[in-house]
A = this chain, B = another copy of it.
Amino acid sequence: MVEIIKKIKEMQKRAESFRRMGKRIGLVPTMGFLHEGHLSLIRNIRNDCDVLVVSIFVNPTQFGPGEDFKEYPRDFERDKKLINENGGDIIFAPDTEEIYGKNYLTFVKVRELSEIMCGRSRPTHFEGVTTIVAKLFNIVKPHIAIFGQKDAQQAVIIKKMVNDLNFDVEIKISPIVREKSGIAMSSRNTYLNNNEKEQALALYKSLLIAREEISKGERKSEGIKEKMKNCFEKYPDVKLEYIEIRDFDTLKDLNHLKGNVLIAVAAKIGCARLIDNIIVNV
């Protein structure tokens, strides 16, 4: 049965003793309310480690003012059952007081990469993410941690933080898991009604169009973006935030597609802000 740890000192002590025994620790950081996407992370890291820790913490510092921190869905008992079934060994589930205490002051920021794409509409988001991930690395002491490609910008930023700050942690990126309709799995899909779920298909459809254009030989970002924009016009309830075509390692803006290319979209539908992407090797 999966074990639950709520205190930082206890988690550190356990982590240290696993390391002393030569056991390899794997970490899946989550905000809980697990869906198939999270479960695929758990399954995809299971064979890379001896002890699998899943953290559950809805991290307030990565939500901006007016964002959905309070409404963010939570269901610990369901999460516990799912983690157990999928092979997790430990759930690290601290409360906010345990993580940020009183008068919290220290932040980790990856400059530039945190300010583009989603960073434009969420200026403090990635700083919150890198700060909590740095803390979790120091608490859980993993040898390997896994993140979803769904949050592609986050994945690039975390890899950059790990490299810059010399965290001795291997980072694995796991493919996007989609619902039958094609929309990317997200805890925020629970905010959508049936009509909105149909409209939300716009994101994935636009990415399929991009993939088709590329397979036809298109290499100019402008041409691809134009076709994607046209796709969104058929979905009047979708407020497109961005279409970006960037290098997946550096997040450099690409005029011409080359190498490992990230094509990413963000849009608002009702009160949900959704993101999706594909990575194409050109």
A8 within 8 A of partner (CB): yes
Q: Chain B nearest CB: distance from A203 CB in Å?
A: 28
Most chain B CB inside 10 Å of its own CB: which residue of A107, A110, A112: A107
| Chain B residue with the shortest CB-CB distance to A164 | B106
| Chain B residue with the shortest CB-CB distance to A112 | B105
Chain A residues numbered 79-105 whose CB sits less than 8 Å from any CB in chain B = 104-105
A20-B19, A20-B20, A20-B22 are known contacts. Are A165 and B111 too (CB-CB below 8 A)? no
| Chain B residue with the shortest CB-CB distance to A134 | B165
Chain A residues numbered 113-168 whose CB sits less than 8 Å from any CB in chain B = 113, 130-131, 134-135, 138-139, 141, 160-161, 164-168
| Chain B residue with the shortest CB-CB distance to A143 | B16
Question: For the complex, what is the distance from the CA of A141 to the CA of B15, rounded to whole Å?
Answer: 14
A2 within 8 A of partner (CB): no
Question: For the complex, what is the distance from the CA of A109 to the CA of B165, rounded to whole Å?
Answer: 13
Question: Are A107 and B105 in contact (CB-based, < 8 A)?
Answer: no
Copies per complex of this chain: 2
Residues of B within 8 A of A167 (CB): 138
Question: For the complex, what is the distance from the CA of A138 to the CA of B166, rounded to whole Å?
Answer: 6
Residues of B within 8 A of A16 (CB): 168
Residues of B within 8 A of A110 (CB): 105-106
A12 within 8 A of partner (CB): yes
Q: Among the listed B20, B22, B106, B168, which residue makes an inter-chain contact with A108, where contact means beta carbons less than 8 Å apart?
A: B106
Q: Chain B nearest CB: distance from A168 CB in Å?
A: 5
A106-B109, A107-B111, A113-B105 are known contacts. Are A12 and B168 too (CB-CB below 8 A)? yes
Question: For the complex, what is the distance from the CA of A20 to the CA of B16, rounded to whole Å?
Answer: 10
Question: Are A105 and B164 in contact (CB-based, < 8 A)?
Answer: yes
Question: For the complex, what is the distance from the CA of A241 to the CA of B201, rounded to whole Å?
Answer: 61
Question: Are A107 and B106 in contact (CB-based, < 8 A)?
Answer: no
Question: Are A108 and B105 in contact (CB-based, < 8 A)?
Answer: no
Question: For the complex, what is the distance from the CA of A222 to the CA of B16, rounded to whole Å?
Answer: 49
Q: Chain B nearest CB: distance from A211 CB in Å?
A: 30
25 residue pairs bridging A and B, Cβ less than 8 Å apart: A8-B166, A12-B166, A16-B168, A19-B20, A20-B20, A20-B22, A104-B164, A105-B110, A105-B113, A106-B108, A106-B109, A106-B130, A106-B161, A107-B108, A107-B109, A107-B111, A108-B108, A108-B165, A109-B109, A131-B165, A135-B164, A135-B165, A135-B166, A138-B168, A139-B166
What 7 pairs between A and B have smallest CB-CB spacing? A106-B164, A138-B166, A105-B111, A106-B110, A139-B166, A135-B166, A106-B161
